[in-house]
């Protein structure tokens, strides 16, 4: 199976494969949303099926919940779990301080709630997502539908006084209609190009009426697992200040997802 993957998918796969080593029997695990997180959910499903791993997963979207159930993971709500041992999720961008932009998949609100309700957050990604300064990826901001155009205007006015390079704002669409989150909200994507002060921006955005949450994850990620297309994996622990490298060998007969 892995022999048929593109280099970028191989990078996502090995990052996910390595990250699930942090999951122990009996844990309550936050399950992220997105293409890289989907590999992680499938890897956990393999451990549940083949190794008898017993975990309870709290998904961050309906898409992740469906996949988790499909691969045999016991799915519960965050209210049932109350607190999580760790969350594993992807990211759209990350910097050297492990600050993140998330929300490309439209699940940033649940992702942030679940991640902050965890003892640790592990981010799985490929090397292309690392940037010197956040902002190249459009920053998602979840807003309530009522008066969203007014909220958009307030956002654009606020950006004038902030340390960002671009100020274009667009409503995320799903075909001819606005994209709607699991909570029934809209997403405004801020095309900032460069964010000078991520902490200031995160705080200011959430003060604007109509804004529910933004996609800046500051001081939330503990470990980033970076996958490469040749099977190399780099693990950076922001708390321990360590960097570790591993290698995951691909198997030509690896068909762990052939039944999905």
Confidence at residue 220, expressed as pLDDT on a 0 to 100 scale: 98
Burial zone of 179 (CB within 10 Å; 0-12 exposed, 13-18 middle, 19+ buried): middle
Q: Is 33 annotated as a binding residue?
A: yes
In angstroms, rounded to a whole number, what is the distance separating the alpha carbons of residues 257 and 237? 29
Confidence at residue 193, expressed as pLDDT on a 0 to 100 scale: 97
Q: Is 259 annotated as a binding residue?
A: no
* Domains of the chain and any CATH numbers: 2-130+219-247 (3.40.50.1360), 139-213 (3.30.70.260)
Per-10-residue mean pLDDT, the chain, length 260: 78 97 98 97 98 98 98 98 98 98 98 98 97 98 98 97 96 98 98 98 98 98 97 97 90 45
Confidence at residue 251, expressed as pLDDT on a 0 to 100 scale: 58
Which residues, at least 6 apart from 167, have a Cβ–Cβ distance to it below 8 Å? 156, 159, 160, 190, 191, 192
For 60, what's the count of Cα atoms within 13 Å in the CB-facing half-sphere?
Answer: 30
Confidence at residue 260, expressed as pLDDT on a 0 to 100 scale: 36
Count CB atoms within 10 A of the CB of residue 118.
23
Confidence at residue 5, expressed as pLDDT on a 0 to 100 scale: 85
Q: Is 15 annotated as a binding residue?
A: no
Confidence at residue 191, expressed as pLDDT on a 0 to 100 scale: 98
Residue 165 three-state SS: coil
148 φ/ψ sector (left φ>0, alpha ψ -120 to 50, else beta): alpha
Cβ pair 232, 247 in contact under 8 A: yes
Confidence at residue 253, expressed as pLDDT on a 0 to 100 scale: 41
Q: Is 34 annotated as a binding residue?
A: yes
Which residues, at least 6 apart from 70, have a Cβ–Cβ distance to it below 8 Å? 45, 260
Which residues, at least 6 apart from 14, have a Cβ–Cβ distance to it below 8 Å? 227, 228, 231, 232, 233, 248
156 carries an active-site annotation = no
Confidence at residue 249, expressed as pLDDT on a 0 to 100 scale: 81
This prediction has a pTM of 0.94
Catalytic residue from among 24, 93, 111, 213: 111
Q: Choose among 29, 34, 9, 7: nearest CA to 19.
A: 29
Count CB atoms within 10 A of the CB of residue 257.
16
Residue 115 pairs with which residues in a beta bridge?
none
Confidence at residue 252, expressed as pLDDT on a 0 to 100 scale: 46
Q: Is 16 annotated as a binding residue?
A: no
């Amino acid at each position: 199976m892995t022999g048929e993957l593109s280099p970028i998918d191989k990078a996502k796969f090995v990052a996910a494969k390595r990250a699930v080593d942090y999951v122990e029997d009996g844990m309550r695990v936050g399950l992220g949303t997105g293409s890289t997180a989907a590999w992680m959910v499938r890897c956990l499903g393999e451990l549940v099926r083949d190794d008898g791993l017993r975990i309870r997963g709290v998904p961050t979207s309906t898409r992740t919940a469906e996949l988790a159930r499909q691969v045999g993971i016991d799915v519960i709500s965050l209210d049932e779990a109350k607190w999580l041992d760790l969350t594993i999720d992807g990211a759209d961008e990350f910097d050297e301080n492990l600050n993140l932009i998330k929300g490309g998949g439209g699940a940033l609100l649940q992702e942030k709630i679940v991640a902050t309700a965890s003892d640790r957050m592990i981010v799985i990604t490929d090397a292309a997502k690392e940037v010197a300064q956040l902002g190249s990826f459009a920053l998602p901001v979840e807003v309530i539908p009522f008066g969203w155009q007014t909220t958009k205007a307030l956002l654009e006015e606020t950006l004038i006084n902030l340390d960002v390079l671009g100020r274009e704002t667009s409503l995320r669409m799903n075909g001819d209609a606005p994209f709607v989150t699991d909570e029934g909200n809209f997403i405004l994507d801020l095309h900032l190009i460069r964010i000078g002060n991520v902490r200031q921006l995160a705080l200011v955005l959430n003060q604007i009426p109509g804004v529910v949450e933004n996609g800046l994850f500051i001081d939330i990620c503990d470990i980033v697992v970076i996958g490469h297309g040749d099977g190399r994996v780099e693990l950076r622990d922001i708390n321990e200040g360590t960097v570790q490298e591993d290698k995951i060998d691909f198997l030509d007969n690896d068909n762990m997802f052939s039944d999905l």
